Amino acid sequence: MTNQNTLRDRALAFRALHVPGRPLVLPNAWDAASARIVEDTGAAAVATTSAGVAWALGVPDGDLLGRERAVAAVARIAASVAVPVSADIESGFAEDPAGVADTVRAVLAAGAVGVNIEDALYGGEGVLRPVAEQAERIAAAREAADAEGVPLFVNARIDTFLRGAGGVDATLERAAAFRAAGADGIFVPGTVEPGTVKELADGIDAPLNVLVGPGAPPVAELAALGVARVSAGSSVALAAYAVVRRAARELLDTGTYGEQAGGLGYGELNSLLEQGS
């Protein structure tokens, strides 16, 4: 288990990486091996993708993975790398703010120094949690981390664009409320349109995080718009699983092996994991 002094140092280092115009770039990981690969490529931090973690554990994404299994995955990832780790904890793996606080304490014990908390609702009335309710959950996360003496970076995810539940004005309203509740950063997936990103970066008094993938503007263009954090989300995991499907289909249909070309060397991956163990 990582001691509190080390956690504090990592948390402070992670905070310092969020600079508008010089964004932290996160190719999200979903297990220890992907985390070590990401770290080895030179990433300054590792962030988990909740979708990728869920899929790797045989569960669909969308608040269906339980806290215990999710936190265990975070612990394996944090133990495998030396850089700071941020955990995607979906809606907090809890029904109420007290439960979110429990999740945050568990994530800190697992070695993470950042969390993403989303405001999407799955299976309830409406597509987003009411602003006041979500603010209470963020405040609970903030208070739990502060009580542990760790400056956890709380990244409040706002799904207005992703869920078609509002535009810039609604997003800015939520962002202001979540900042007041203790969020350190604001994550707005679902839009990479330059004009919109610029409005968000200018209107949010916190580091702005956007979600990227094929078709999104290059990181340099997002940086010029004032973005402070760029996340790949589940897109790297989806690309990896696409290789599995292509390789399996080729092997079964034609008996050939072309899709397996370009893979990491057995010894290379083994060595990476030995270095991280």
Residue 15 is assigned to a structural domain of this protein: yes
What per-residue confidence (pLDDT) applies to 126?
Answer: 82
Q: Where residue 269 falls among pLDDT bands split at 50, 70, 90? A: very high
pLDDT value of residue 25:
98
Tell whether 241 is covered by a domain: no
| Per-residue model confidence (pLDDT) at position 275 | 84
Residue 261 lies in a domain: no
Q: pLDDT digits over 110-146, tens only?
A: 999 999 999 999 876 789 999 999 999 999 999 999 9
Q: Which residues of 63-95 are buried (b: 16+ CB within 10 A; e: fewer)?
A: bebebeebbebbbbbbbbbebbbbbbbbbbbbe
Which pLDDT does position 277 carry in this prediction? 67
Tokens of 234: 């589940």
Range of the domain at 50: 4-234
CA distance 127 to 134: 13
Check: CB of residue 212 under 8 Å from CB of residue 192: yes
pLDDT score of 238 more than 90: yes
Whether 82 is in a domain gets the answer yes
pLDDT tens per residue across span 81-105 = 999 999 999 999 999 999 999 999 9
User: Is the pLDDT reported for residue 1 higher than 60?
Assistant: no
Q: Residue 148's domain is classified under what CATH number?
A: 3.20.20.60
Give a yes or no: residue 271 inside a domain: no
pLDDT at position 97 is 98
Q: Do the domain assignments include residue 77?
A: yes
Q: Is 272 among the domain residues?
A: no
Query: Is residue 80, in this structure, part of any structural domain at all?
Result: yes
Q: Please report the pLDDT score of residue 123 as a whole number.
A: 75
Domain count, the chain: 1
pLDDT value for 4? 76
Predicted confidence (pLDDT) per residue in 152-162, tens digit: 999 999 999 99
pLDDT digit string (tens) for 14-66? 999 999 999 999 999 999 999 999 999 999 999 999 999 999 999 999 889 99
Confidence of residue 2 (pLDDT cuts 50, 70, 90): low
| Burial of 109 per CB tally in 10 Å (0-12, 13-18, 19+) | middle
Report how far residue 209's alpha carbon sits from residue 204's, in angstroms, rounded to the nearest whole number.
11
Compute the distance between CA of residue 31 and CA of residue 141 in angstroms, rounded to an integer.
24
Confidence at residue 256, expressed as pLDDT on a 0 to 100 scale: 98
pLDDT tens digit sequence for 175-232: 999 999 999 999 999 999 999 999 999 999 999 999 999 999 999 999 999 999 999 9
pTM for the predicted model, two decimal places:
0.95
pLDDT of residue 156: 98
